[in-house]
Each structure stands twice: as C-alpha cells, then as structure tokens.
Structure 1
C-alpha cells in the first residue's frame, strides 16, 4: 500500500509540474507574440480596475491586489475600450494618462501596456518553469523517500 501511495503522489506532482510549465509557457508565448506582432496605438486610461488574487479567506494577508488600467484607443475599425491583460501594483498608470498599448488586430480587446505591466512575458514564462522544476524536485524527493524507507530500511508496505 505504501508503495502505491508514494508512486501515486509522485505521479500527481509530476502531472502538476507538467501542467504549470505548459500553462505559464503558453501564456507567456501569447503575451510575447502580442508584444512583437501586435499593433501599437496611443491610448488614454479611462478607468482603473483592481482584482484580488491569493487565498479566498477574506481576512487573509496573502491576498494581493493588482491594478488593471482600462484604456480607450482608436483602431481602423473604430474606438475600443478594454482592460489590459496584465496588471500591476502599484498601478502602472493614472486615470486620464496617455499610454502606448499593443493590441491584437484580430481581437482589439486583447491589450497590453507597452511599459509598466506587472510581469513581462519572459518573467511569466520563467516563473512557470521555476514552479515546474520545483514540483519536479518534489517528485524526486518523494521517490528518494520511498527508496530510503522501502529499499534501504526494509519498510513494510
């Protein structure tokens, strides 16, 4: 039974590592693509939204507030108003401020600030890979733990 539990735990940790690596790398790649190939425009910040992240407990100190500017800019199809995809703390711009944005011409509501976002796409990808490597390290520790208990110490189970 012990062997089954250890290998199951290891398998789950490896799956999590793979998922997080894939997710953050994909998100990072799409943001980098938007920065490189997106259209640029001058925009005006018309509002500032804030979103909380972290644990769901209302009194938790681990909650983090990030600010997401809402920008208005002109495209060939007309005026677009959209919230930027990446937030920051402190707020990366003030309401009324002119900012430069990158947007996807096929989906103009996909907008990034040219400067001032919380995490660059490269940093987001690095975070994903660091998280994946950390989880993979946990899987190795699980296997080593099993090896020491089962093989070296003849632990039953």
Structure 2
C-alpha cells in the first residue's frame, strides 16, 4: 500500500464526500494522488494491481463512484481517452504527441475561474479549461 500519509488523506477525502473508505476506493485514490499527471483507467488499474488483486471492472466502477461523488475529476482529450485526477482549481494540458495529460494550477496560468463566472450574465456551474500542444519532453525529440 502507499505511504500512511496518503492513505490517511484518502480516508479523509472519502469520509468528506460521504463515502465509506473501502480498500478498493483507498487504493484507487492513493494511485491517482501519487501521480504528477492525470491517469487513464488502464494506468490506474495497473498501479492498483501492483499492490492488490482487483479486476478491471471493479476499478472502473470505483472510478465512476469517486467521480459521481466529486472525489476525483475526469477529463477527456482529443484522443477520447478519459483521464482522472484529484483537485478542483486546475486545468489540463494534453500533449498531442505522447498523449500525456498534465494538471496545471490555474494560478500558474493566471486564470481566475471565479472572475470568469462573475463576469458572465449566466449561472456557470463549472469551467473546464484544456490546453493542447506538445510537451517539453516531446518537443526535444522532434
């Protein structure tokens, strides 16, 4: 299992969301939280099964439950593959070469979603800012 600090954090997040901190949920959340990028369901499945014997369907159902209850984010890029991450006030960068999706803090982008919500004459429930281009790693190989 991941370190005790991330597991405690996963337990706390699940309880905050009104979800029971089952082993499957904690393992999936720990796997997502330990990554510096948004992960596909396959990457999460591969990460979880390194520590625990879980089938693919259970991982997918757990991801749906976590997403439906607001514990994780889900984004779909140009490749239509869903990526999962934790955190609310960030955007995503999708590399069109390697397919990796990075989470970027909106403060780094100088993007204030609350200002955008206030400036428009309609009720905005959420904003999904997605950037596409070529990441540093891929740009060096071109």
Which category of TM-score, normalised to the shorter sequence, fits these structures?
under 0.3
Question: Which has the higher relative contact order, 1 or 2, with Cα contacts under 8 A spaced 6 or more apart?
Answer: 1
Structure showing greater radius of gyration is 1
| TM-score using structure 1 length | 0.22
